Structure 1
Amino acid sequence: MSRDTARMLDDYRMMLLIRRFEERVERLFAEGLIHGTTHLCIGQEAVPVGISALLDRHDLTVSNHRGHGHFLARGADPSRLMAELLGRVTGYCKGKGGTQHLSGLEVGHLGSNGITAGGLPVAAGAAFSLKRLRPGSVAVAYFGDGAMGEGVWHETMNIASLWKLPLLFVCENNLYAMSTPVKRGISGKSLAVRAAAYDMQWTVADGNDVEAVRAAAADLLEDVRAGRGPAFLEAQTYRFRGHSKSDAREYRTREEEEKWLAKCPIRRQEAKLAAAGVGEDELERVRREVEERIEEAARFALDSDWPPVDEALRDLYA
């Protein structure tokens, strides 16, 4: 197997891991084992996988409410992540972060954020620190199209450009901010072109093609690492589920959903691997391996203890 084909297979494995993880979370939620709500990234797996492959252990990421895939792509342990979602003490945040406030400094993930655009100033702070203490390292901020209507998005874009922070802004444009279409919520014909107003390099990528995402991000990250300031990537993608588990998706047509389902990043990768000579038996081996890993994660989480009562008063800061 060539080096390129091996990388394609690794991408496939990670995207499939994220997909199966989210599907298992969906079932656990339906069983009443995950409290509150949850936001699944099914359909958007190519974006974090394509970008995370370009990051090293010193780079930092900040995510949003739809952040399970971002965390897993950085190398998070599925078992500990699943335990966190179930509120167990063995989770990354001892069960206190839950689905929307995940962090794991050991894999370079500063945290996800339940507030729209709330992670952006955190990412700017991380980038400021990296610029002073670890030149050549970068911070990556993931957010959705809806975040671009928030004032803090503009503020962070502005300060990042003024101070030439090593920060890659990644907009996962899945066409909807909850139920509001982009064309009704954000003015202009392009999201990415807004970065030009802040004197940033920008590009648009097919967010359902992991190799296209990697290629686009690689070009931008080269400049960011070289100290030329922040950059902006718009990854055009689609969430196959609702905004959250309470969303029946009545604002989308069946025709639109079928069009995007045909662009599934995992099915696309399977087709590329087949064209590269990877047999169905090898793909099936990877599928079984991933499914076993996810079931192992679910068992670990379900068998883990709840946090002790006094844990609620620890790790509090003001």
Structure 2
Amino acid sequence: MKTVVVLALPDLIAFDLATPIETFGRVRLPDGRPGYQVLVAGPDDVVDAGPVRLAVDHGLDAVDRADLVVVPGRNDSLRPSPPAAVEALRVAAGRGTRIASICVGAFTLAEAGLLDGRRATTHWLAADELARRYPSVRVYPDVLYVDDHDVLTSAGAAAGIDLCLHVVHTDYGAAVAADASRLAVAPLHRAGGQGQYILRNRPTARAGALEPVLAWIEANAHRELTLADLAAAARTSPRTLTRRFTEATGQSPMQWVAGVRIRHAQELLETTDYTIDRVASQAGFPTTSNFRTQFQQVVGTTPGAYRRTFHS
């Protein structure tokens, strides 16, 4: 039996705490024995978790006997972590203990220096901030989880279940993991990454001056468009428009158009029974093949798989 220690730090996200407790705590081996002992540990006896306060049974010394330490996210991901917890993580990692984070718990791992030079992920809304604050971390914002040897990170919320089931599969094999996935009422493997949950190309505050042309793109993305068409709509030169787009959105004008078309296609896949050919045409893609390729690259899954997940 392996020991999992879940860290309970101040301002804890309760869902992130419950995910490893429930997923690992219900794992049973073929002979009926539990696969994991799950302990909750932290620097304080009581921890705030949103609207509730939770009693913590174990101190940080429990980390010393862990096979895996899981760090849930906190509501304020930029709040400094307790120094004692950061040091406990560093010591555990130094002796080869596996360390995992759920959602924005990746910020605590990065704060401890455990993600330096590694691949990692976090909730897509926080990915840019993680990359900005910790430039040595190779952030992959579109995946559900990253297994970088002895350090693992997951995206937001339910992606923590994906990570936990992956750990079970690694520790005990497919049969035990499949049984755990049934108990969690979650698939053992989900098609695509968290890219499929991201709303593409929503205007930001920095894009204020571009709002007229952004609105024009929304209304005309289904047409065959060129950079010259966009510049004419914006009443400026292609060069100036490209510079303004890059400064405001980090994308070229045509990349923005592609993102709008992808979002329109997502809406059609969610709300209609149109064929894939018709979705591609109405969203503005020149061919169905081009649509499938771009959709896979941007969203991380196929149009058909996306529809099966999100169609209402």
Taking structure 2 as the reference length, the TM-score comes to 0.30
Q: Of the two, which has the highest radius of gyration?
A: 2
